[in-house]
Structure 1
């Protein structure tokens, strides 16, 4: 049986995994997904990695369409994903509702878990937030960086630090056991990223790729998308 090959940002992993069974029923195919930092997944496609479908940030999908690597007419927005803060299950509640709250929480943390600050959407943004808060130099040694947000959250969940905190996209937090969502980054430092699926120009299973896109955006799965952390897109 042929697999549908996907290159996807980690933000969409939970959604894809929950819809694999429905996809298998209509297509007869399984999914072979590689999930990681958006920048890394785009680089893999540019380097010639085989893929039928990409699920990346809208901005990156537009870039890939301009480079002739994905079919622009197939680009379909899945939803908005906020960048948020997490702590371990059982840890004391912290406040992150204002910039001052967030600064205080980060300065109090012994370890700070984040995805790649060079290639991951949330990691790149979080690095900027640290600069904007004026604490980048003070917390650099406490940063624990990983290739993607879910890996960062898994390490947060087993951290032995007295006070540990993490920042990544809300879908990756909700899809990782052992961590709990605190809340989105505060106004002025927030980030909501639109994730978009598109069929690649080199797809060997373009029809099946379209079937998965249709399943992901099916109105009947709206509650599932919301529970995983995909918000509606403001138009």
Structure 2
């Protein structure tokens, strides 16, 4: 009976000790990696006992929040932004490239799939569409504006071009636009949207996403462990399944 009593006492002490050791990792991440992190975070939580608090927004929005003092443990943003934040002392100098993502063309599920296999076919598809849209701001939006200029169709697209405040997947699903363009990983999750295909290879623009820990993080060990978990073989398989290429 005494032995059982001692074991019960030890078990009782172990529970609060275990709870005290558990960390909550606050992650600020680009919407492009949303579905990837939503799949991988629970695996990390199960394996470590730590919790992951995910906040998603465009990388440029999260950059501003970090600069304004928003607390976080891990930031997963476009690599140039992460590098810039490291340069200003907001993120630790040791950064890890997590994934690369290309731009895709989205249409409403079941709609006639446009031919976008070549530069000329892609150009004609945009000119024939009743409406074309992409999310305002961000690296993708900036690149597409430049691309339309290079293709010589910027003026022709103006009357039917829509700069979206929400997601491209939602916009093609509800009929707001006929053709949308965004990161492939942001198209695949939408049941009402369909990936018509990536941009032609000679027009494609790849965006790199990197992770870094906050220099002010109180959970640096757990934050570092979370980033490491995003680079393992299992994580790489998930990254590919979500429409991205592992870093």
Could you tell me the TM-score, scaled by structure 2's length? 0.84
Q: How many residues align?
A: 226
Corresponding residue to 2:140 among 109, 115, 122: 122
1:94 match:
114
Corresponding residue to 1:153 among 169, 175, 179: 169
Q: CA deviation at 1:138?
A: 2.1
* Partners of 1:113 and 1:153 within 8 A in 2: no
Over 3 Å counting, the alpha-carbon distance change for 1:147 and 1:31 in structure 2 is: farther
Secondary structure in structure 2 of the residue aligned to 1:168: strand
Q: CA deviation at 1:168?
A: 0.5
* Partners of 2:23 and 2:50 within 8 A in 1: yes
Residue 107 of structure 1 pairs with residue 121 of structure 2: no
Secondary structure in structure 2 of the residue aligned to 1:217: coil
Q: CA deviation at 1:147?
A: 4.3
Rounded Cα–Cα distance in structure 1 between residues aligned with 2:191 and 2:222: 31
Rounded Cα–Cα distance in structure 1 between residues aligned with 2:221 and 2:175: 43
Secondary structure in structure 1 of the residue aligned to 2:116: coil
Over 3 Å counting, the alpha-carbon distance change for 1:109 and 1:222 in structure 2 is: same
Secondary structure in structure 1 of the residue aligned to 2:230: helix
Secondary structure in structure 2 of the residue aligned to 1:71: coil
Rounded Cα–Cα distance in structure 2 between residues aligned with 1:24 and 1:53: 15
Over 3 Å counting, the alpha-carbon distance change for 1:156 and 1:3 in structure 2 is: farther
Counterparts of residues 177-188 of structure 1 (less than 5 Å): 177-188=191-202
1:94-146 Cα offsets, whole Å, 9 max, x none, are 11122211111111222222112x3x121111111111111222222323323
Could you tell me the TM-score, scaled by structure 1's length? 0.88
Q: CA deviation at 1:172?
A: 0.6
Q: CA deviation at 1:16?
A: 0.5
Residue 71 of structure 1 pairs with residue 92 of structure 2: yes
Q: CA deviation at 1:3?
A: 4.1
Secondary structure in structure 1 of the residue aligned to 2:245: coil
| Runs of 5+ consecutive residues of structure 2 not aligned to the other structure | 1-21
2:10 match:
none
1:11-57 Cα offsets, whole Å, 9 max, x none, are 11011101121122234343332222221211111111111111111
| Runs of 5+ consecutive residues of structure 1 not aligned to the other structure | none
Residue 56 of structure 1 pairs with residue 61 of structure 2: no
Secondary structure in structure 2 of the residue aligned to 1:79: strand
Residue 195 of structure 1 pairs with residue 213 of structure 2: no
2:226 match:
212
